[in-house]
Amino acid sequence: MTEPEPPAAVESARTNPSADAPPGSGGLERRITAFQATALNMAGMVGIGPFITIPLMVSTFGGPQAIVGFAAGALLALCDGLGWAELSAAMPGAGGAYIYHREAFQYRTGKLMPFMIIWTTVLGLPLVVSTGVIGIVQYLGFLWPSMTTTEGTLVGLAVIAFTMLLLWRRVGSVARLTVVMWAVMVVAVAAVLVAAFVRFDPSRAFTYPPGAFDVGSGHFWSGVAGGLGIAVYDYMGYNNAAVMGAEVARPGRSLPKATVASIIGVMGIYLLLQIGALGALDWHRMLDPDSTASKSVASAVVANAWGPATANAVTVLILVTAFASVFVGTLTASRTPYQAALDGLFLRSFARLHPRHRFPLVGQLAMGLIMAAGFLVGRYADLNVLIQLLVTAGLLVGSSGSVSQTLALFVLRRRQPALERPYRMWLYPLPALVALVTWLFMFAAADHDAPGAHPVEWSVAWLLAGCAAFLAWSRRERVWPFGTKSIEERYLVRQERARSS
């Protein structure tokens, strides 16, 4: 499905990491290999997600049929991920979705859609990452049961500060650190899976309450909708390498491989973890918010199999795995505002690179501060409701999977058919249609899944505020709809220049 790059291009990338830079990349270096890109995705996807959301999924479905939620999420991630693979290979640059929205929607709405990606990303992405810090503190309670609220808050802030310190280096060094964390993640997941299947009881995992699969009931479909929200949160991260596309070597080959391989790998991990936990523990224990099975389900599984000492050791590995997700999320969060600043759509200071290490200096610092603020607020919120709010906020227009991201694939296929696509979506347009319908279904059901939180209303209000901000900005800059609409097919122009030279 991919085409090899010409030998001259390969040699150029080898001798000059900034060679073959995407249009307007501003000097970022291509140092991330295909394997490192896969590790970047997987480390961001796993993190603390499954270790805190397995009980949430069981609670949402009301029993071990919760496996339906992870399976549906896996299908959605794969369908959406195939679109990311195509777009990232064709347009590898900093910001991922920002670039695809900029290129796809410029014909009718000017700069509105890339502006909206910035609007939803600058706050939304670091807030999502902050939930990983909340999960770290929650799991730390297994090792430190006497930890007070104040102590937990200080630990969380220290984790964020340590993350920022580790990210203060060149992207090649960051990629190597990510591989180390990915290896720890593999060990942690393997340990939990072995512990789960040592004490596995099929009657616990596969005995369902009456009416569990009654597809004619509203309860089943509300569970699917709520479970999809949790699963999207868990699978989030398969686009990490795409967001850093300006720093990935041989992106036409590396990005599709990293995207598809990470989704398939994490799909297997999640399904096995869910089944294993349900077979090792009585799922009713996961419904008690004060139980270890609810707060630290993986640690409870290991303690059940091998005792508390081994559980403590594995919990340390889980904490490292969770930290890896925070690390990767903070890393990628700065790339979208950086690219927008280069394009003049965001504060110019965000286009500044560190003079020595060549990372977005202001953006990285800003993302850390927003993440810290989100952590402080999230400490006193219901984690399930917080996840639903954050996921819903990005369903229509977002930098991860969203309606607008899927539509961008269709628009670019029609508007730029001559664009070189080293990878094309399998079975197009079927996977994209499945993703589009699922995003719309999740958005329509969001209020029902989080009663009293009004995620749909908050999401719409946030998007309307973004549109108002865009109108104010475009009026000041005298661009569409208050001025000219410029069409810049940057990747097509670059492609034509390469052919003519």
Q: How many CB atoms lie within 10 A of CB 297?
A: 28
Q: How many structural domains comprise the chain?
A: 1
Determine the pLDDT at residue 9: 33
Say which range, 217-226, 401-410, 478-487, has the weakest mean pLDDT.
217-226
C-alpha to C-alpha distance for 387 and 391, rounded to whole angstroms: 6
Nearest partner of 333 among 102, 127, 115, 58, judged by Cα? 127
Is a pLDDT exceeding 60 seen at residue 53? yes
90: tokens are 């064709």
Q: Is residue 72 part of a domain?
A: yes
359: tokens are 């990372």
- The CATH number of the domain holding residue 278 is 1.20.1740.10
Phi, psi of 495 (to 5 degrees): -65, -45
Determine the pLDDT at residue 12: 34
Q: pLDDT band at 226, cuts 50/70/90?
A: confident
C-alpha to C-alpha distance for 473 and 185, rounded to whole angstroms: 44
Q: For residues 276 and 196, is the Cβ–Cβ distance under 8 A?
A: yes
14: tokens are 């080898």
300: tokens are 């409870």
Q: Is residue 5 part of a domain?
A: no
Range of the domain at 442: 30-500
Q: Average model confidence (pLDDT) for the chain? A: 90
- The pairs formed by 356-362 with CB atoms below 8 angstroms and a separation of 24 or more are 357/168, 357/169, 357/170, 358/27, 358/28, 358/29, 358/170, 358/171, 359/167, 359/169, 359/170, 359/171, 359/174, 359/334, 360/334, 360/335
Q: Is residue 19 part of a domain?
A: no
C-alpha to C-alpha distance for 191 and 259, rounded to whole angstroms: 25
Task: Tell which wins on pLDDT, 112 or 385.
Answer: 112
Determine the pLDDT at residue 399: 86
* Type and span of the H or E element at 419: none
First to last CA, the chain: 26
Q: For residues 220 and 28, is the Cβ–Cβ distance under 8 A?
A: no
Phi, psi of 344 (to 5 degrees): 85, 10
Q: Which residues contact 308 (CB under 8 A, 6 or more apart)?
A: none
Q: What number is the average pLDDT over the span 56-65? A: 91
Q: What number is the average pLDDT over the span 69-73? A: 91
Is a pLDDT exceeding 60 seen at residue 380? yes
Q: What number is the average pLDDT over the span 203-226? A: 87
This prediction has a pTM of 0.89
C-alpha to C-alpha distance for 115 and 96, rounded to whole angstroms: 14
**Helix orientation angle between 49-61 and 308-333, rounded to the nearest 10 degrees:** 100
Phi, psi of 410 (to 5 degrees): -65, -45
Q: What number is the average pLDDT over the span 153-174? A: 95
Q: Tell me the CB-side half-sphere exposure of residue 136, using CA atoms within 13 A.
A: 29
Q: pLDDT band at 25, cuts 50/70/90?
A: low
Q: pLDDT band at 326, cuts 50/70/90?
A: very high
Q: For residues 397 and 463, is the Cβ–Cβ distance under 8 A?
A: yes
Q: Is residue 8 part of a domain?
A: no
Calculate the CA 316 to chain-centre distance: 23
Q: For residues 101 and 114, is the Cβ–Cβ distance under 8 A?
A: yes
Q: Is residue 65 part of a domain?
A: yes
What are the distances in angstroms from CA 45 to CA 51, 329, 379, 413, 421?
A: 12, 9, 22, 28, 26
Nearest partner of 364 among 341, 332, 342, judged by Cα? 332
Nearest partner of 450 among 374, 500, 366, 384, judged by Cα? 384
Q: How many CB atoms lie within 10 A of CB 482?
A: 13
Q: Which residues contact 429 (CB under 8 A, 6 or more apart)?
A: 410
| Greatest mean pLDDT among 20-29, 372-381, 416-425 | 416-425
Q: Is residue 130 part of a domain?
A: yes
Q: How many CB atoms lie within 10 A of CB 110?
A: 21
Is a pLDDT exceeding 90 seen at residue 361? yes
C-alpha to C-alpha distance for 145 and 153, rounded to whole angstroms: 14
Q: Which residues contact 10 (CB under 8 A, 6 or more apart)?
A: 250
C-alpha to C-alpha distance for 99 and 270, rounded to whole angstroms: 30
Q: How many CB atoms lie within 10 A of CB 478?
A: 9
Determine the pLDDT at residue 19: 38
Q: pLDDT band at 26, cuts 50/70/90?
A: low
Q: Is residue 159 part of a domain?
A: yes
Phi, psi of 31 (to 5 degrees): -125, -5
Is a pLDDT exceeding 50 seen at residue 134? yes
293: tokens are 């099975």
| Greatest mean pLDDT among 49-63, 86-100, 213-227 | 86-100
Is a pLDDT exceeding 60 seen at residue 91? yes
Q: Is residue 9 part of a domain?
A: no
Is a pLDDT exceeding 50 seen at residue 13? no
